[in-house]
Structure 1
Amino acid sequence: MKKRMLLAATTSLLIAAPVFADTAVETGAAPMQATKSPTATEGGINFNMKGISVNLGGFIEAAGMYRSRNLNSDLPSPFQKLPLANSAGYYQDETRFSARQSRLSLLATGDVNENTHLAGYYEMDFLGAASTANSNESNSYNPRIRHLYTTVDWDRAGLHLLAGQTWSLVTMNGEGIIPRKEITPLGIDAQYVPGFTWARQPQFRIVKDWDKKYWLGLSVENGQTLVQGGQPNAVGNNLADNQAGGGALTNVTTSVNPYPDFVVKAAADPGWGHFEVYDLIRVFETSLSSNGKVNNTFRATSAVGGGMILPIIPKQLSLQVSGIYGKGIGRYGSSQLPDVTQNAAGENMPLTGSQLLAGATYDPTKEWNFYAYYGQEQVDRQSYDQNGKGYGYGSELYDNSGAGTFGGKAQGNIRKVAQETVGTWWKFYQGRMGKMQAGLQFSHTEDDYFSVVNGGAPKATDNMVFTSLRYYWQ
């Protein structure tokens, strides 16, 4: 009876949590471990209710951003949409201020007994954009839910169950395979860094640990397909792509997903550093009409990824590297390059790609943190031609002849997105009233296009500067 009451009380806390507005991107909750949410021992406001521990965390942020090209964007930077000289944004700077990355969180935990532990976590921010909400990477429908999930941990068996919306299992962890201990870039830009592999979506996950040193997890996650061709192309003929949503998905587009995405991950914490490897398995559907019927075909893909964190100087200097290679991985990258393209017949053809992120963080004192990252995302060419017309992704027959002239034609596709990022956080107040910190970030981003016969291989660049002032309550 007591067990039932405890579970009901935990669920009630989650249901009663305030619901707020929300859009499609993220950034870390704290600069030192960006995604590690406050817990009862790490700040936030704590109280107990009928044996359940509750923590209210979050921060208020005033952010500023300057971009040398106008992206018409808030804090999330659309890295794959840097303007070429044929569009007005190329000739315009962009300066904006925003408080929408401010965040609220609620963590409720309870122990059924010394072996079984329950938890529920809710986190939201204000980066909502109803007209562009989608399932592509962060399931950013309105109101914007960043995280909403429950967990059950059985210590004796070393088993851990998670159900709800949170980081995909492809996101690198800082310790084991433990929720709220993922590692994200420490910057201010809410779209992180190109090369960072992640998603935040509904899932069911089961994890087994051996002495908290070795971990094995399986996650079944929400699917979605990003499709892109060029011009002329067959996009629109495939009935599995870009469908108009209905019901709770009205006014958004979605893809037909016959199966969820599957992720299997193994991780190790041998005593120095953290190491992990995983496999991402996806299935893409093609639906083409013929003779008054719709014929469906399926293509399964696999991609291998992994990462490591090396504490070169414990608690001061850490190096990290992560990456993934395989087919159909575009939606899991910060740059949102496509998963598939279409051939001349309109079939979805998975694209081979890679994502790589390398970074370093340095904490010389408790007040200062410095970071630097290099990241890139790349897609291989997969082109087709029929009767002298180009199809697919990266076709040499596309026309980029006007890429350097305002109003000119630029049909080509992006081959690679790359970025160098440096920044710092200064925690100038840490005391019983909470914590205040200021941040400064600079990044240089490049979009490199495939070479084509008419117009060569154009390149788009953007220099961005971000500032942040955050107050964390404790």
Structure 2
Amino acid sequence: MLKQTSAHFFKVVSKLYLILGIMLAPIPEAIAADDSRTNAELLQEIEQIKARLKQLEELVHKNADGVETAKQTAQQALTKETLVTDKLANGQIPLGHTNLSFSGWLQGTMTWRDHNELASASSTNFGTPFPKSIAYGVHELRADARNSYFALNMKSAEVDDVKLSGRLEVDFQSIGSNTTQNNNGWAPRLRHAFVEVDNAATGWHFVAGQTYALTTPYGNQVRSDGSPSADKAWTMLPSLPIINVGQLDDIGPAGVNSPRPLEFRLIKTFYNTALAVSLDSQIVSWAGNIAGASPVYTGTTLSSAANNQFNNNATQNLSLSTVPDVLMKATWQPDPSTFYETFGIVRSYRDMNGTTNLTGTGTTHGFGGGVDSFIKLWPGKLDITGGIGYGSLGGYAGNGIADVTFDATGKPTVVKEMQGWIGVLAHPSRELDLIAYAGTEHSHSAGVSGTDYGWGNPNFLNSGCAILNGVCNGSVKAVADVEVGAIWRFYNGSFGHVDFMPQITWLKKSLFSDINDFAPSAHNVAVDLTIRFYPY
């Protein structure tokens, strides 16, 4: 189109110059010799020639303006049609109007535990056995590569200030039906799968899919490209390639809420603040197990409505509630070295009709909230981060404290807990990060009525905890842990970088006291040695 317009313009200009050449050519001698015309007639002819010249000049300018307009229109059209390949960064490949890039790592981890949790490497949590368990007296050594993960990142061209991006991320932390330690047939697990719509001009953003919930502190992460957390750009958008505070999988200290539900999130960013609201698939942890297997009751055995969150395992049930969790969050960054955020959550719990030995059913609502912060005490060298929370947050932390229980009438009753955590991150050099975290959660009793119901009921017997290999699964009152580790990038070159990541974890969990004032507790120590290769 642009070439055709240019050719037409040059044809028009050529004709105009031909006309001008003819009009301005020397007057023939015959005409010059003819002096029979008066001066007035000659002046009139000159004025006519000037008027004609003016018309021709206007015509030339008009055609020139048309050509320029056509040129600009063509350039705009070409810009809109230009593939994103013109703006490719290192490691990106084009697919239509979208850039694709890859991220992730290959990892091998060896874990030693003082007490055997019968768990895979990089999965140390509060599943530690109690002292009278046979497993408690046996050390444990595990090694695997299950925490290797792969992510496909998608980013479109920006059209009318709108940009689309997406992320698909999997690891191998799931367990297939035929998986054993010997055949290493680990099943893939979906970590993230979401699409993000960003409007840079208005500051509105929309996220739909599975990713970290708004309860996750976004001030506690180290970029997965290996740069220290001091380089982190604060945002509530989940598209940055990040790892959580725990170097191994998503396990951070107690008190950190980092689930990945399916959600629909709307965000509005301002100069140094952001507001967000999200509707999330429920993550519910109900107290009690089917057939009263735990805890052990002093009276009638009862069956709970064990409607836990779905985890791709046939032995787990879906949450019964038809209302999603509603989350809200606000962030504020007054200066480049200080970041604060606060979140709130509204939840709905519904019991099951016909629950065995219960006289009624019902629905109740739970609430929770928290505050997290990140402060660069010495920018580029020393950071401190931490937060507190309170309310119905047990399932979001996933450390053994329930979200909800039920009383003697069958009515769901919210289990409230207090959370707190703190972290210190030092960056002696570009190749080394030193990390230390500590956290705790403390739950309150709930729904206690009679001898058989509720969370933390003193009539629940903990006597099995004092018997060799006895049942010891009473209500968890508190958990606490301390993590100390490092990230050493001992190779960092043009082909990626390789990190050595040692970590030592100490943890403890305690149960509520029973009617005999017996409150058992258990602790564990784990040492993780990890080699991680970032090829991208």
TM-score under structure 1 normalisation? 0.82
Q: Which residue in 2 is equivalent to 1:220? A: 279
Q: Which residue in 1 is equivalent to 2:206? A: 161
The amino acid that maps onto 2:191 is R
Question: In the TM superposition, what whole-angstrom CA distance separates every residue of 1:8-32 from its partner, at most 9, and x where no partner exists?
Answer: x99xxxxxxxxxxxxxxxxxxxxxx
2:155 to 90, 94, 109: 109
Question: In the TM superposition, what whole-angstrom CA distance separates every residue of 1:294-329 from its partner, at most 9, and x where no partner exists?
Answer: 975221121111200001111221100123201x21
Whether 1:372 aligns to 2:436 is yes
Distance 1:193 1:131, change over 3 A: farther
Q: How large is the RMSD of aligned CA atoms in angstroms?
A: 3.0
The amino acid that maps onto 1:464 is A
Partner Cα distance (2:260, 2:437) in 1: 21
Partner Cα distance (1:188, 1:366) in 2: 21
Partner Cα distance (2:426, 2:327) in 1: 31
Q: Which residue in 1 is equivalent to 2:482? A: 420
Q: Larger radius of gyration, structure 1 or 2?
A: 2
Task: Give, in angstroms, the shift of residue 237 of structure 1.
Answer: 4.7
Q: Which residue in 2 is equivalent to 1:342? A: 406
Partner Cα distance (1:249, 1:242) in 2: 13
Relative to its length, the structure with more strand (as a share) is 1
Partner Cα distance (1:220, 1:286) in 2: 21
SS of the aligned residue for 1:126 comes to: strand
SS of the aligned residue for 1:71 comes to: coil
Task: Give, in angstroms, the shift of residue 422 of structure 1.
Answer: 0.3
Query: Within 5 Å, which residues of 2 pair with 1:115-134?
Result: 115-130=161-176
Q: Which residue in 1 is equivalent to 2:456? A: 394
Query: Within 5 Å, which residues of 2 pair with 1:65-84?
Result: 65-77=111-123, 79-84=125-130
The amino acid that maps onto 1:185 is V
Task: Give, in angstroms, the shift of residue 236 of structure 1.
Answer: 6.0
Partner Cα distance (1:354, 1:245) in 2: 25
Task: Give, in angstroms, the shift of residue 358 of structure 1.
Answer: 0.5
Q: Which residue in 2 is equivalent to 1:464? A: 526
SS of the aligned residue for 1:399 comes to: coil
Q: Is the 8 A contact 1:262 1:280 kept in 2?
A: yes
Partner Cα distance (1:82, 1:371) in 2: 23
Partner Cα distance (2:310, 2:111) in 1: 33
Q: Which residue in 2 is equivalent to 1:268? A: 332
Task: Give, in angstroms, the shift of residue 142 of structure 1.
Answer: 6.5
The amino acid that maps onto 1:74 is S
TM-score under structure 2 normalisation? 0.73
Q: Is the 8 A contact 1:287 1:295 kept in 2?
A: no
Partner Cα distance (2:135, 2:485) in 1: 25
1:253 to 309, 317, 320: 317
Question: In the TM superposition, what whole-angstrom CA distance separates every residue of 1:424-449 from its partner, at most 9, and x where no partner exists?
Answer: 11101111111001010001100112
Q: Is the 8 A contact 1:59 1:472 kept in 2?
A: yes
Partner Cα distance (1:150, 1:121) in 2: 7
SS of the aligned residue for 2:126 comes to: helix
Partner Cα distance (2:188, 2:249) in 1: 21
SS of the aligned residue for 1:392 comes to: strand
Question: In the TM superposition, what whole-angstrom CA distance separates every residue of 1:321-375 from its partner, at most 9, and x where no partner exists?
Answer: 123201x211110414210112223332110112221101101001111000001
Partner Cα distance (1:234, 1:197) in 2: 35
Q: Is the 8 A contact 1:395 1:452 kept in 2?
A: yes
Q: Which residue in 2 is equivalent to 1:319? A: 384
Q: Is the 8 A contact 1:396 1:453 kept in 2?
A: yes
SS of the aligned residue for 2:329 comes to: strand
Task: Give, in angstroms, the shift of residue 172 of structure 1.
Answer: 1.4
Whether 1:49 aligns to 2:95 is yes
Q: Which residue in 1 is equivalent to 2:346? A: 281
Distance 1:430 1:168, change over 3 A: same
Task: Give, in angstroms, the shift of residue 198 of structure 1.
Answer: 1.6
The amino acid that maps onto 1:329 is L
Structure 2: runs of 5+ lacking an equivalent: 1-76, 179-185, 220-233, 289-294
Partner Cα distance (2:364, 2:300) in 1: 18
Distance 1:408 1:144, change over 3 A: closer
Larger deviation: 441-450 or 452-461? Answer: 452-461
The amino acid that maps onto 2:235 is G
SS of the aligned residue for 1:412 comes to: coil
Whether 1:305 aligns to 2:370 is yes
Partner Cα distance (2:345, 2:494) in 1: 44
SS of the aligned residue for 1:90 comes to: helix
Larger deviation: 213-222 or 340-349? Answer: 340-349
Partner Cα distance (2:477, 2:169) in 1: 35
SS of the aligned residue for 1:86 comes to: coil
Structure 1: runs of 5+ lacking an equivalent: 11-39, 133-140
Question: In the TM superposition, what whole-angstrom CA distance separates every residue of 1:271-305 from its partner, at most 9, and x where no partner exists?
Answer: 13111111111011123339xxx975221121111
Partner Cα distance (1:255, 1:78) in 2: 26
Partner Cα distance (2:497, 2:190) in 1: 25
Distance 1:295 1:112, change over 3 A: farther
The amino acid that maps onto 2:167 is Y
SS of the aligned residue for 1:269 comes to: strand
Q: Which residue in 2 is equivalent to 1:207? A: 267
Question: In the TM superposition, what whole-angstrom CA distance separates every residue of 1:187-238 from its partner, at most 9, and x where no partner exists?
Answer: 3365222221121011001000113x11000000001321114332888655
The amino acid that maps onto 1:340 is V
Distance 1:376 1:235, change over 3 A: farther
Q: Is the 8 A contact 1:193 1:334 kept in 2?
A: no
SS of the aligned residue for 1:56 comes to: strand
Task: Give, in angstroms, the shift of residue 79 of structure 1.
Answer: 2.9
Question: In the TM superposition, what whole-angstrom CA distance separates every residue of 1:49-103 from its partner, at most 9, and x where no partner exists?
Answer: 3342211111100100011111111135363322112321111111010100001
The amino acid that maps onto 2:434 is F
Q: Is the 8 A contact 1:67 1:463 kept in 2?
A: yes
Q: Which residue in 2 is equivalent to 1:27? A: none
Q: Which residue in 1 is equivalent to 2:192? A: 147
SS of the aligned residue for 1:301 comes to: strand
Q: Which residue in 1 is equivalent to 2:141? A: 95
Partner Cα distance (1:244, 1:324) in 2: 22
Q: Is the 8 A contact 1:228 1:235 kept in 2?
A: no
